[in-house]
């Protein structure tokens, strides 16, 4: 009787452990899905900005010029649009509500018609937090070898006490024929 109770207890513990592991993995998958959705919105914005202008080469003096204070953030992508330079930067967050380094966009706002505003007022907005840029990979444009086609890659770190840390990477191919 004692042996069967012990074996039954072990089986119940094994099943409980399996259920906890499944819940942990499910929440990790759900978080990754949410982050991927946010990243796709950021890639939509970058692609839209690219459609309004041309990339500025890293070696150009115009690269990283911004209508917003950068406050120590590093410019990683600049686009010359008709209404001014759109600059994507990465670095420390402007306030404590954000986690880790942030990806920000400085440039003209979009109007209600979905087009870039031609006002002289630039907005500096956080797009994502927890971006990983140790190797410059948080947001980058990579040539594909095909004329006018580049790949935008966005990487974001996720941290959770019980889940450890992992990175979520989203990419998209874009037409940069006008930008290059």
Reduced to 3 DSSP states, what percent helix, strand and coil does the chain have, rounded to the nearest 5?
A: 30, 35, 35
Write the pLDDT tens digit of every residue in 14-72.
Answer: 777 777 766 666 666 667 777 778 888 888 888 888 888 777 766 666 676 777 887 78
| pLDDT value at 6 more than 70 | yes
Q: What pLDDT sits at residue 180?
A: 40
| pLDDT value at 177 more than 70 | no
| CA max distance for the chain | 83
Q: Which helix (H) or strand (E) holds 20?
A: helix 2-51
Question: Can you list the pairs that 65-74 forms with residues at least 24 positions away whose Cβ atoms lie under 8 Å?
Answer: 66/106, 66/122, 67/106, 67/107, 67/122, 68/106, 68/122, 68/123, 68/124, 69/124, 70/106, 73/102, 73/104, 74/133
Is 33 or 151 the better-scoring residue by pLDDT?
151
| pLDDT value at 170 more than 60 | yes
Is 120 or 143 the better-scoring residue by pLDDT?
143
Q: What pLDDT sits at residue 130?
A: 81
Extents of the domains making up the chain:
28-175
pTM equals 0.74
Kindly state the percentage of the chain with pLDDT values over 90: 2
* Cα–Cα distance list, 151 to 116, 136, 146, 154, 157 (Å): 23, 15, 10, 10, 20
- By C-alpha distance, which of 132, 126, 134 is closest to 170? 132
Kindly state the percentage of the chain with pLDDT values over 70: 79
């Amino acid at each position: 009787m004692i042996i069967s109770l012990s074996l039954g207890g072990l089986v119940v513990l094994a099943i409980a452990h399996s259920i906890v592991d499944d819940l942990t993995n499910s929440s990790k998958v759900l978080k990754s899905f949410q982050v991927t959705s946010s990243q796709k919105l950021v890639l939509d914005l970058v692609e839209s900005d690219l459609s309004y202008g041309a990339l500025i080469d890293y070696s150009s003096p115009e690269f990283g010029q911004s209508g917003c204070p950068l406050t120590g953030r590093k410019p990683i992508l600049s686009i010359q649009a008709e209404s001014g330079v759109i600059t994507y930067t990465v670095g420390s967050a402007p306030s404590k509500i954000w986690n880790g380094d942030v990806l920000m966009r400085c440039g003209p706002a979009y109007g209600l018609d979905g087009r870039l505003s031609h006002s002289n007022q630039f907005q500096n907005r956080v797009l994502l937090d927890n971006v990983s840029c140790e190797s410059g990979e948080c947001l980058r444009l990579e040539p594909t070898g095909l004329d006018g086609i580049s790949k935008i890659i966005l990487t974001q770190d996720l941290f959770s006490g019980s889940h450890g840390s992992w990175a979520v990477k989203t990419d998209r191919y874009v037409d940069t024929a006008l930008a290059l």
